[in-house]
Structure 1
Amino acid sequence: MLLHETVHSSLRERIVSGTLAVGTPLPSTAELCVEFGASRGPVRQALAALAAEGLIATGQGRVPTVARAPLAQDIDDFFSFSAWVSSLGRTPGQRTLEIAVRRPPDAVAAALDLDDDARAVELVRVRSIDDEPVMIERTAFVEPVGRLLFDLDPDAGSIFAGLLARGVALDQGEHTIDAVAADETDAAELGVEPGSPLLRVRRVTRSDDGEALEVSDDRYRPDRAALIIHNSRSRGPAGPHASRSMTPEGSR
């Protein structure tokens, strides 16, 4: 990792974790140079990257300060974006781009353990916080579950809540976290350049008896989302515990 990337990563983690709270001034350039054994160039590069992400406010003759408060979400609450955002006193939003019944791509069909001729219900939505686009969500349900979506308004709120109310046993989730380049749709809907890096969370949701019911590919703007992994020896077989933190514009 290059030196300016090390400085950027360290400062970003302090902001996301709350060690550096909103309105808190960052250490001076001179102090950061000493801390990281760096010259002013790498430190300035790191600060410029944080400013570009909207995490710090800078200006001529102005001490850089933290500009946004991260919103943290436990991984256990990843199932419902709407419920999480509402619990924070913010306004969740969703806009449906597409809903269709069709044969899904091979990778999705395999994840859902579909027969060769089976179809799925695919849904694409843009999710927002306080009217700011945060994530594009591509979801596929096994057809018996997905058919229930046509009795719901996908723009009205949480699909998971609607399915649970109809007796669907959405019980277990497996999450895979990585990065992906924004395609044309991602870029247009999230307001980024094509090819820009996005944080991706892929999920397989199963019933209480282990049957795959849903798979999802959720892509977040990296300036508005982060993942925090908490490790504890006392957790034993449960392994690491992860949470999501987000930095939407509404914290201005």
Structure 2
Amino acid sequence: MENRDGRPLHERLSEEFRHRIATGAWPEGSQLPSEATLCGEFGTSRGTVRQALATLRNEGVVTGGRGRPPMVRAAVQSQSFSTFMSFTEWAHSIGKTPGQRTYEVARRPAGPVAAAQLGLEAGEPVVEIYRLRSLDGVPAMIERTTFVMEAGRLLFDFDADNGSIFNYLRSRGVDLSRARRTIDAVAAGPDDARLLEVDPNTPLLRERRLTSSADGRPIEYSEDCYLPSLTNFTIDNTSESRASLVRIPTP
């Protein structure tokens, strides 16, 4: 494989394998080509192929190993911590069609939680977004996002029902370079349950995300609540490279 972006070969192989699974080239329940076949196709070693397949096993996309041939299985779609992607970019990367329905884009005083995260005084003006996100038309996530005014004011000229907010803001020069995520579980309230078409108190996977510029200026704080039956989160690390995942006790 031609190396155009400087990433390790095993990462690019994992991406190619995910693409083949997502597009049906390797159907659910099918056995993957042998390691020897994959080595020959991509001109690489067994170790590299095994590392790529191990990533897919960790994500729950592929089963097998320890003498059993790797198989494609129907799995909850994983979103990795190893890269910084918007929901739209992630959906496209797994072969799904992202969708959204916007219920609110509003300027209002910052609440205490968002203000603390964004380094603002409580009551300073911010722009809040409330959207339902979907995968292939199926409700998947509730998005509650707060932007500092410098970035958020640009969204009054954007159709939030048609496209990625992050991609739009980047096209307008907003620096969205870094993110810190906190993952926990919450119960679906009445409004979220109705939009996600589940019963109230259904467990949801909540991602609280603080997005900053390259120099550390907070830009966005979001609380995104996912249906765990449609997505989960993974983190990849090795003995040589440790990912910055921190376990934080809940008060």
TM-score by length of 1: 0.67
Q: Which has the higher helix share?
A: 1
Q: Aligned runs of 1:112-123 on 2, under 5 Å? A: 112-123=118-129
Partner-residue secondary structure (3-state), 2:181: strand
**How far apart, CA to CA, are the structure 2 residues paired with 1:89 and 1:18?**
14
1:18 alignment partner, one of 61, 81, 86: 61
**CA root-mean-square deviation:** 2.4
> Is structure 2 residue 188 aligned with structure 1 residue 182?
yes
Structure 2: runs of 5+ lacking an equivalent: 1-56, 65-71, 247-251
Could you tell me the percent identity over the aligned residues? 46
Deviations 1:118-169 (A, max 9, x none): 1110001111011000000100000111000011110111000000000001
Structure 1: runs of 5+ lacking an equivalent: 1-13, 22-65, 242-252
User: How far 1:117 sits from its partner (Å)?
Assistant: 4.0
Please name the residue that 2:203 is paired with. Answer: 197
Q: Aligned runs of 1:23-34 on 2, under 5 Å? A: none
Equivalent residues of 1:85, 1:92 under 8 A apart? yes
User: How far 1:19 sits from its partner (Å)?
Assistant: 4.3
Please name the residue that 2:244 is paired with. Answer: 239
Q: 1:240 to 1:105 in 2, by over 3 A?
A: closer
The letter for the 2-side match of 1:221 is: L
Equivalent residues of 2:88, 2:164 under 8 A apart? yes
**How far apart, CA to CA, are the structure 2 residues paired with 1:67 and 1:104?**
44
**How far apart, CA to CA, are the structure 1 residues paired with 2:136 and 2:148?**
31
Equivalent residues of 1:205, 1:214 under 8 A apart? yes
User: How far 1:16 sits from its partner (Å)?
Assistant: 5.4
Please name the residue that 1:167 is paired with. Answer: 173
Please name the residue that 2:223 is paired with. Answer: 217
2:115 alignment partner, one of 109, 116, 120: 109
Please name the residue that 2:24 is paired with. Answer: none
**How far apart, CA to CA, are the structure 1 residues paired with 2:195 and 2:84?**
21
Deviations 1:53-74 (A, max 9, x none): xxxxxxxxxxxxx973333333
**How far apart, CA to CA, are the structure 2 residues paired with 1:111 and 1:130?**
32
TM-score by length of 2: 0.67
The letter for the 2-side match of 1:182 is: A
**How far apart, CA to CA, are the structure 2 residues paired with 1:183 and 1:196?**
8
Equivalent residues of 2:128, 2:145 under 8 A apart? yes
The letter for the 1-side match of 2:61 is: G
Please name the residue that 2:98 is paired with. Answer: 92
Partner-residue secondary structure (3-state), 2:155: helix
